[in-house]
Amino acid sequence: MVADLIESIAKIMFIFSVNLGFFAPILGWVERKQSAVMQDRIGANRADIYGFTAIGLFHSLADAIKLLTKEDFIPTGANRFFHTIAPFISLVPAILTFAVIPFGGQYKLFGHDVNLVIADLDVGILFIFAFASLATYGVVLGGWSSNSNWSLLGGLRASAQMLSYEVAMGLTIVGVIMVYGSLQLPEIGAQQVDFFRWGIFMQPLGFILFLTCAIAENKRAPFDVPEAESELVAGYFTEYSGMKFAMFWMGEFLEIVTISAIVTTLFFGAWHLPFVSDPMLLSFFQFAGANGASILAMLVNIGTFFAKVIFFIWLQMTIRWTLPRFRYDQIMKLCWKMVLPLSLINILITGLVLLI
């Protein structure tokens, strides 16, 4: 019991440290710097400490100080309770969904079995969809409670867009569930030990459709009509400032990480290196002894998983700074007239192939 408790606490602290201590503060800088590179300009370069001006790494620190010290403003006539709680509803699901995503396999350390997932649920995929859908309430409540027409319009757009793409997104991974026969994410990841059993080869159309829906669900460009600064000032969070604004901002960035982790687990071999199985890793590191080999193999698997996650973060940033914003009617048409029918066709083809 004590060993299990220590293992659980260690995994929770690791995921919180990676998400809130690394990805959350650095992704703002990454977005600025990547957009600058793509647009042939210098980018973030003003926060200067000991000559680090050129890379601008301290912009995130400057942003944090500014947001922590900024006035917490609530408009006259706004619903104070819902205005305050909305950012929490948007941020918390982005963190909780990582609880069921495996970032490594199973290892035996000092006689104890270690499973690198916080909560190994039989219905892990359903858990993700259940909590991801709660983020919609945070956006809608934030827009409605602000007593602002711009915020209300942004909240209405967000509710229609997010609910529409949730339906389509659920259908895009039905093929993956059919192929691997499980809702358990560690089980799906374990079955992709063979390179040619990776989800991208088993469900190529499902991958494209799922990534499209996930980006739309996160309201990132080219699907950012709920914000649409050229039309709605800033959309659903127009009337937010300080740390409440930062929580909406952090929720969006953490969802980028969560999307990347889900795509890695379902379609890109999870923690596996191409053509390298866990037993092969253990045999390669056997010079370090049984426990040493397990530790080294575990570190390689964790590094492999997060390297893939970082690649998909880069891909989402690239898409965000490449494609122009869709019109609202185009977003709805893409969902209901293209993604949804293709998802159903993908399920039909997958079922026929499995039957044959």
Tokens describing residue 259:
């999307």
DSSP string of 42-86? --S----STT-TTTTTTHHHHHHHHHHHS-----TT--HHHHHHH
Comparison of pLDDT for 58 and 186, the residue scoring more: 186
Q: In this predicted structure, what is the pLDDT of residue 269?
A: 93
Place of tokens 């998983």: 305
Q: What residues contact 69, with CB distance under 8 A and at least 6 apart?
A: none
Q: Coil, strand or helix: which one is 12?
A: helix
Q: Using an 8 Å Cβ cutoff, are 272 and 192 in contact?
A: yes
Residue 354 has pLDDT above 90, yes or no: yes
Residue 297, classed as helix, strand or coil, is: helix
Mode of pairing for the β-strands spanning 112-115 and 106-109: antiparallel
pLDDT of residue 108: 86
| 3-state SS track over 217-240 | HCCCCCCCCCCCHHHHCCHHHCCC
pLDDT at 160 over 90: no
Q: Which of 93-107, 240-254, 255-269, 317-331 is predicted least confidently? A: 240-254
pLDDT tens digits, residue range 5-47?
888 888 999 998 998 878 877 888 888 888 888 888 877 777 6
Lowest mean pLDDT among 65-79, 107-121, 194-208, 261-275: 65-79
Partners of residue 273 on adjacent β-strands: 276
Is the distance from CB of 252 to CB of 216 less than 8 angstroms?
no
Lookup: tokens for 118: 């916080």
Angle at 242 between CA 239 and CA 246, to 5 degrees: 90
What is the per-residue pLDDT for 91? 87
Cα gap 113→297, rounded to integer Å: 14
Please, what is the average pLDDT of the chain?
87
Residue 20 to residue 23: CA distance in whole angstroms = 6
CA distance 227 to 225: 5
**CA dist., res. 108 & res. 143, Å (int):** 49
Neighbours of 94 (CB within 10 A): 27
What residues does 53 pair with on adjacent strands? Answer: none
Query: How many alpha carbons lie under 13 Å from residue 176 in its C-beta half-sphere?
Result: 33
Give pLDDT, residue 49: 63
Look at residue 56 and tell me whether its pLDDT is greater than 80.
Answer: no
Lowest mean pLDDT among 90-94, 96-100, 165-169: 90-94
Residue 243 pLDDT grade (very low, low, confident, very high; cuts 50, 70, 90):
confident
Per-residue pLDDT at 30 = 86
Q: With bands split at pLDDT 50, 70 and 90, how would you rate the model's confidence at 205?
A: very high
Task: Check: CB of residue 115 under 8 Å from CB of residue 4.
Answer: no
**In a 10 Å sphere around its CB, with 0-12 CB exposed, 13-18 middle and 19+ buried, how is residue 18 labelled?**
middle
Indicate if the pLDDT at residue 238 is higher than 60. Answer: yes
Please list, in sequence order, all residues whose beta carbon lies within 8 angstroms of the beta carbon of residue 276, skipping any fewer than 6 positions away. Answer: none
**Cα separation, 182 vs 168, whole angstroms:** 20
Res 259: pLDDT = 94
Q: What is the pLDDT of residues 306-350, one digit of tens each?
A: 999 999 999 999 999 898 888 889 999 999 999 999 999 999 999
The confidence band for 51, taking pLDDT boundaries of 50, 70 and 90, is low
What distance, in Å, lies between the first and last C-alpha atoms of the chain? 47
pLDDT at res. 270: 93
For residue 157, what are its two tokens? 């757009």
Whole-model pTM? 0.92
User: Confidence band (pLDDT; 50, 70, 90) for 50?
Assistant: low
Residues 125 and 173 sit within 8 Å (Cβ to Cβ): yes
